[in-house]
Structure 1
Amino acid sequence: MPTAYADDTCDHGRQLNEHYDAATAGQTLLARLREAFLAAGRDPERLSRDDVAGIDQLHLGGRSASRALAALGELHGGERVLDIGCGTGGASRLLAAEYGCEVAGVDITSAFVEVANWLSAATGLAERTRFLCADAAGVPLSAGSIDVVWCQHALVNMPHVPRVLAEWQRLLVPGGCVLLHELVAGDNREPLALPVPWARTQATSHLRCREQLERAMALAGFEPLEMEDVTDAALAWRQEHSRRESQPDGTTQHPTALPGPALIFGNEFSRMGRNLRDNLAAGKVRVLAGSWQRGKR
């Protein structure tokens, strides 16, 4: 007999799949992106990490934010990393290629997982990365098998954070760490300008304030190591990208251009980016980067 938790998880997964795979239009995301690379004169089976940069890190700051988070965590190479909410796998590939990590990515959106596996194979990183379609509160990996939990802009899509954090406790080795780059609610509590990249409605946005996030981590047994407010850098990055996304409908693209996020988010992408910029500028949203260590509990 299905449990209420199972039913809730299925509904949550359906909402996220509908949000992040909204531009399907009769094609799978994988097919649409492969066609776009072909149109840009690229072989979809042999791509560089620069070729795929426009679609592989769908968070504020892109690759620069991921490198900053890795520096915060003092990664030295060889760590077993779990990339929570991995999307199309860009951070996983960066950690494998630039830091020598062994990375497992998990995402509840099946289209993202399919694309992540393809992009890792196409960029020659399939042996260092693997991707699983699963809920972050129930990852099919063994207890104590992970050195680092990595999470960028994923908790904002998760309504039941205590369940997720308990799973991180199970998966991490004693003394393992969490590296988090996350959106939180700002001091301006006026309603968000919507849609934004993580939600089209208020009901599907799970922003928490900094204090709530820190309390949840503490209750789950994680000890804070370092926390930075990186909102100013994130806003500057978003402002620059909003200037580039100048087409009125956000979808017009030169036929030979490399694929960008509009191919994933669809017609509303440019508007989502502008709204995120405005929410950051108005203090409705802030961005934190931090590290925590798994306690002895």
Structure 2
Amino acid sequence: MATSDRVREHYAGSDIAARILTAAGAADDGGTVPVDALAPFDELHAGGLATTLYLLNVLELDAGTSLLDVGCGLGGSSRVAADRHGCPVTGVDLSPDFVAAARVLTERVALSHLVRFEVGEAQQLPCDDASHDRAAMIHVGMNLPDKAAAFADVHRVVRPGGLFGLHDQMRVGPGDLPYPQPWAVDDETSFLESPSSYADALTAAGFEVLSVEDRRPALAAAPGEPTEDRAVVFGPVFVERVTNMMAATRAGILAPVVVLARA
């Protein structure tokens, strides 16, 4: 099975939007749901909503900037960008199930006029050249075996001078990674790289790397998030996956890192 097919299978699921809406207490009323009410369930990355807000702030968004959300997942970060900054957003994700759920959830928060979602791969984005002012990628690179190819296609899509912000789990020390992890059950679909490797791949793609920030201190100082909320999407096994990720972080193997680059 191809790597992309295995990754797609990892993020497959049925009735995802319905399960999230039920967990958020908004299954039956049919009314508009606040974006933040979905955040405990649709922000599937370390730091959750707080990390999303941090990265979006770094990208200097406003209503006049168009954002590409690469590997948008359930669309949580896309909706937050549109809600907080009023900007148009295109979310692209490999998983048809996630994209379908993202569309339903976006309708329920009344943001379909600003946010749209497409199925696609990071290295073959379904977007025109120079069609977006900004790009974001949150917890996606760990599933990308060829980051240079993905970054090159993001560079194609982002207008000259536009910003690209990434937040990924990166390898910062030696050691065997305990599996399963949130993004993979084994090393066949886990492609961890160091911050310096990210910087090299971004530079090779034509970006200027502006900053590289280890976010461990910020996340350690923040209130913890209930892992069980994310289990609404992935099931009880997600608790074990997050536990393993946190253990690898404490062991100095992993770190959540934010990188900002300019096209």
TM-score normalised by the chain length of structure 1: 0.82
Q: Is the 8 A contact 2:21 2:38 kept in 1?
A: no
**Aligned equivalents of 2:58, 2:129: Cα separation in 1:** 25
Q: Is the 8 A contact 1:78 1:99 kept in 2?
A: no
Task: Tell which deviates more after alignment, 284-293 or 29-38.
Answer: 29-38
Task: Tell me what 1:228 maps to.
Answer: 213
Task: Tell me what 1:256 maps to.
Answer: none
**Aligned equivalents of 1:171, 1:130: Cα separation in 2:** 16
Q: Is the 8 A contact 2:35 2:83 kept in 1?
A: no
Shift of 1:235: 4.3
Give structure 1 stretches of 5+ with no counterpart. 1-9, 251-259
AA aligned opposite 2:2: D
Identity of paired residues, percent? Answer: 31
**Aligned equivalents of 1:34, 1:286: Cα separation in 2:** 31
Task: Tell me what 2:236 maps to.
Answer: 267
Task: Tell me what 1:286 maps to.
Answer: 255
Structure 1 SS opposite 2:188: helix
AA aligned opposite 1:63: L
**Aligned equivalents of 1:277, 1:177: Cα separation in 2:** 29
**Aligned equivalents of 1:37, 1:52: Cα separation in 2:** 6
Shift of 1:153: 0.8
AA aligned opposite 2:179: L
The equivalent position to 1:50 in structure 2, one of 36, 47, 53, is 36
**Aligned equivalents of 2:53, 2:117: Cα separation in 1:** 20
The 4+ residue runs of structure 1 with deviation greater than 4 A are 34-38
Shift of 1:51: 2.3
Structure 1 position 105 matched with structure 2 position 87: no
The equivalent position to 1:214 in structure 2, one of 179, 199, 221, is 199
Q: Is the 8 A contact 2:20 2:38 kept in 1?
A: no
Q: Is the 8 A contact 2:20 2:41 kept in 1?
A: no
The equivalent position to 1:66 in structure 2, one of 52, 57, 71, is 52
Count of aligned pairs between the two proteins: 263
Task: Tell me what 2:186 maps to.
Answer: 201
Task: Tell me what 1:240 maps to.
Answer: 224
Task: Tell me what 2:117 maps to.
Answer: 131
The equivalent position to 2:103 in structure 1, one of 107, 112, 117, is 117
Q: Is the 8 A contact 1:235 1:280 kept in 2?
A: no
Distance verdict in 2 for CA 1:18–1:291, change over 3 Å: same
